[in-house]
Structure 1
Amino acid sequence: MSTALQTRPRSDLAAGRFGQSRYMIRRKFFKLFGGAFHIYDAAGNVAFYSKMKAFKLKEDLRIYSGEDMQEELLTIQARSILDLGATYDVTDATTGERVGALRRKALRSILRDQWLVLDVDGQEVGRIEEDSMLLALVRRLLTNLIPQTFSGTVGDVPVLTFRQHFNPFIQKIDLDFSVDTQRRLDRRLGIAAAVLLCAIEGRQSGG
């Protein structure tokens, strides 16, 4: 599909950040306004820093190359205001290219969290789901001390896992793309999905 949008290439350093197979996401619970996440690569280096803007009617997250926020890499913006089943558009901030979108299945997520992965044309190409109905119900009805685990697929082929570690003060999540050997999922969309899961699902469980 042709486009008149003028783009500029992403820096080689930023492009390399999206080439990792494993990441660890860390969020401190006690942040009063907005939300912030550090995303580390397998070597323990900060690969991304994400900041959610506070006091926005429509949720707006930005992903940067570092905590100094000098290089913005991705934007994640809700299409609607305060909608539990909102669709979030993911855009490459360095090129203006729309990467895809993520849609939360609101009614289904009451019992078991589920997100749809949409391509640039808005077509469903994959899903990200909580590990099991049983564990999901236990978390909701009895305790939120059981860490969440999500699995992502594209065309029914596994592409990622997302595992939370229980910690009462710091939210830590392992993000693993190593099962996606054919690179079916755009890593930019995968990173955006992980940040959304931390921000939305983590907030619901009291994080």
Structure 2
Amino acid sequence: MSHSTELPALYRTNRFLARRKVLTLVGASFHLFDDDGELLAYSRQKAFKLKEDIRIYADEDQSIELLTIQADRVIDFSAAYSVIDATTGLKVGSLRRKGMASLMRDTWEILDDAGRVRGQMIEDSAGLAILRRLIDFMTILIPQKFRVEFDGRPVASIVQQFNPFVHKFTVELFDDGTDAPRPLLIASAILLLAIEGRQG
């Protein structure tokens, strides 16, 4: 079977909506849409799985795998998640949750393929983050916002869109000339839905 050398649509867009349905008995489903409502990627997260292994596909038939996200341990409190570009089979980097820091303010480290810390994904404000944790309805009034930095420069923003039944994030990727791998940035948004979304 021949493979096209054209980049998947997911890697060619700078803005998309990431959505996670939470009312399902068999796990969670993820959809990524562009501004026109076209499907960019799909994933299904199995329920009761002790160690995360998230596969991202270009379609709901799961015929074209784009990304694999694998946890390095069973408990996700301070887990690191390897991000593998399924089209090349290469590890593009990893995301490591800073467990203690995330109790008050969601914080992730972004590592390159050599394991070096190159950036971070962090919730917008420590004060607002604490309010969201202490008062449930504050997520309605003040949705979560994350900034993503790579080599000290902003490369993406992730903003929660409140919905009581579906977790949603609007994701914007900035074309600022850094060498931040696009699959790694996309995986950042998916992990927020899969891991941090459980607290919402």
Same fold (TM over 0.5): yes
Taking the TM superposition and a 5 Å limit, the aligned residue runs for 1:34-113 are: 34-113=27-106
Q: Check whether the contact 1:58–1:82 (CA below 8 A) recurs between aligned residues.
A: yes
- 2:166 paired residue number: 170
**What is the rounded CA distance, in whole Å, between the counterparts of 2:22 and 2:48 in structure 1?**
18
Q: Where do 5+ consecutive residues of structure 1 fail to align?
A: 1-7
2:188 corresponds to 1:193 = yes
Percent of residue pairs identical: 46
Q: CA deviation at 1:13?
A: 5.2
- 2:113 paired residue number: 120
**What is the rounded CA distance, in whole Å, between the counterparts of 1:83 and 1:25 in structure 2?**
21
Q: 1:35 to 1:11 in 2, by over 3 A?
A: farther
Q: CA deviation at 1:119?
A: 0.3
Aligned length: 197
Q: Check whether the contact 1:100–1:122 (CA below 8 A) recurs between aligned residues.
A: yes
Q: 1:50 to 1:14 in 2, by over 3 A?
A: farther
**What is the rounded CA distance, in whole Å, between the counterparts of 2:2 and 2:84 in structure 1?**
14
2:16 corresponds to 1:20 = no
2:180 corresponds to 1:204 = no
**What is the rounded CA distance, in whole Å, between the counterparts of 1:158 and 1:51 in structure 2?**
29
Structure 1 stretch displaced more, 112-121 or 26-35:
26-35
**What is the rounded CA distance, in whole Å, between the counterparts of 1:168 and 1:156 in structure 2?**
35
Q: CA deviation at 1:11?
A: 3.3
- 1:155 paired residue number: 151
Q: TM-score, normalised by structure 1?
A: 0.89
Q: Where do 5+ consecutive residues of structure 2 fail to align?
A: none
Q: 1:65 to 1:126 in 2, by over 3 A?
A: same
- 1:3 paired residue number: none
SS in 2 for 1:18: helix
Q: 1:30 to 1:123 in 2, by over 3 A?
A: same
CA RMSD, 1 decimal: 1.8
**What is the rounded CA distance, in whole Å, between the counterparts of 1:197 and 1:135 in structure 2?**
17
2:177 corresponds to 1:182 = yes
SS in 1 for 2:195: helix
Q: Check whether the contact 2:25–2:47 (CA below 8 A) recurs between aligned residues.
A: no
SS in 2 for 1:27: strand
